[in-house]
Amino acid sequence: MGALEAGRIGTDESGKGDYFGPLVVAAVYVREAAEEEFLAELNVRDSKRISDRRVVELAEVLTRRLPHAHVAIGPARYNELYASVGNLNRLLAWAHARALENVLAKHPEAGRAVTDKFGDDSYVRRALLKRGREIELEQRVRAEEDRAVAAASVLARAEFLRRLERLSRQAGFPLPKGASASVEEAARRLIAEKGREALPQFAKVHFKTTSRLGDDC
């Protein structure tokens, strides 16, 4: 992942492409070279390249060692915000800014942040400035190659998995990740068992999956 580079906050999200479950953004502050080396020794990398079991294990270790925060937006709230904002990049920017602010509240000395390039970085800057926060912000393509961002990716995914499991218990059966045919099948079952009005409590209803369900479910 390149040379050691400490002294920045990394942020990343999980759940953006998952029909069921929340959107979670996490922020991790890597303060010094020793913490960078700690991440390297654990081989922390993009959570998409790690098994769910290992993600949860790594998250337990990381939360004990590094300053961090997360913002989790459950499906019901997500649907409300998306309907109001009408743009996923703005919603992501708001969540990234809140996660950054939560770390900065305890570590105001942090002067730099790295995040994935999901849209115009002015979205995040504006969201931060509304709260009077100024920080050097760098948005990168494939930002997960930065270990601080990779660590945030792990924490965000672990929280997403915990919350998806909780929603699965509420549904009464496992809710699949992603947006595949099995997800559509699960959505049909959810509607059959709990009614269509229950869907926004479990799923991000603006996904194309919803339109494929039809009105007769």
* 158 domain-assigned: yes
CA proximity to 140, closest of 36, 15, 51, 12? 12
Tell me what the mean pLDDT of segment 130-145 comes to.
78
pTM: 0.91
> How high is the pLDDT of residue 6?
60
CA 152/CA 29 separation, integer angstroms: 9
SS3 helix, strand, coil % of the chain, rounded to 5?
55, 15, 30
Structural domain range at position 25: 8-167
Give the total number of structural domains in the chain.
1
> How high is the pLDDT of residue 3?
44
Complete DSSP assignment for 108-149? TT--EEEEE--S-THHHHHHHHTTT---EEEEETTGGGSHHH
CA 15/CA 70 separation, integer angstroms: 13
* 113 domain-assigned: yes
CATH code where residue 95 lies: 3.30.420.10
